Amino acid sequence: MSILIYLIPISFGLGAVGLGAFLWSMRSGQYQDLDGAAERVLFDDEDAPD
C-alpha cells in the first residue's frame, strides 16, 4: 500500500490545480459574459481575446 504515499498527494494536487484554475478564471473576468463568450467563438476575423 506504499503507493498511497504518491497517489494521495497526486490526487490532492490535481484537485488543487482545478480549484486554482477556477479561482484564476473567475478573477480574470472570464465569467462576466457567458452568453457573449458563446457567440464570440464563432467570430473568425477577430483579434485575440484580452
Partner 1 sequence: MNCHTPEAKDTAPAESGHGALPSREELLLASRAVADGLREVRLSVPSIHCGGCLRTIERALGNVEGVAEARANLTTKSVTVRWSENIAPPQAAEALFAIGHPPHLTDSEAGGSTDKTLGELIRALAVAGFASANIMAFSVSVWAGAGPELRNLFHLLSAAIALPVLLYSGRVFYRSAWAALRHGRTNMDVPISIGVSLAFAMSLYDMSNGGPHAYFDATVMLVFFLLIGRTLDHVMRAKARSAVGDLAKLTPRGATVAYENGTSEYVPVGGIEPGMTILVTAGERVPVDGRVLTGASELDRSLVTGESAPVAVAAGATVEAGTLNLTAPLRLEATATADNSFLAEMVRLMNAAEAGRSAYRRLADRAAGLYAPVVHSAALLSFLGWAFATGDFHRAATVAVAVLIITCPCALGLAVPIVQVIAARRLFEHGIMVKDGGGLERLAEADTVVFDKTGTLTTGRPELIDPDRTDPAALSLASALAIHSRHPQSLALVAAQAARGGTKTNVADIREMPGHGLEARYNGTVIRLGRADWALDDPETVSAPLHHPCSVLSNDGRLVAAFAFHERLRAGAGEAIAALKDRGLGVEILSGDHEAAVRDLAGSVGVERFEARIRPDGKLARLKALAEAGHKTFMVGDGLNDAPALAAAHVSMAPSSAVDVGRNAADFVFTRDSLEAVPFTLAIAKRTRRLIRENFALAVLYNAVALPFAIAGFVTPLAAALAMSGSSLIVVANALRLKGRAKYYRKALDRPSPQAAPPHASTQPAQ
Contact set with partner 1 (CB under 8 A)? 1, 4, 8, 11-12, 15-16, 18-19, 22-23, 26, 29, 32-36, 38-40, 42-43, 46, 50
Q: Which three cell numbers stand for residue 37?
A: 463568450
Q: What is the DSSP letter of 32?
A: S
Assigned C-alpha cell, 48: 485575440
Min dist. Cβ of residue 29 to partner 1 (A) = 6
Q: Determine how many CB atoms are found less than 10 A away from the CB of residue 30.
A: 13
Q: Looking at beta carbons only, is 6 or 46 nearer to partner 1?
A: 46
Nearest approach, Cβ of residue 48 and partner 1 (Å) = 14
DSSP state of 38: H
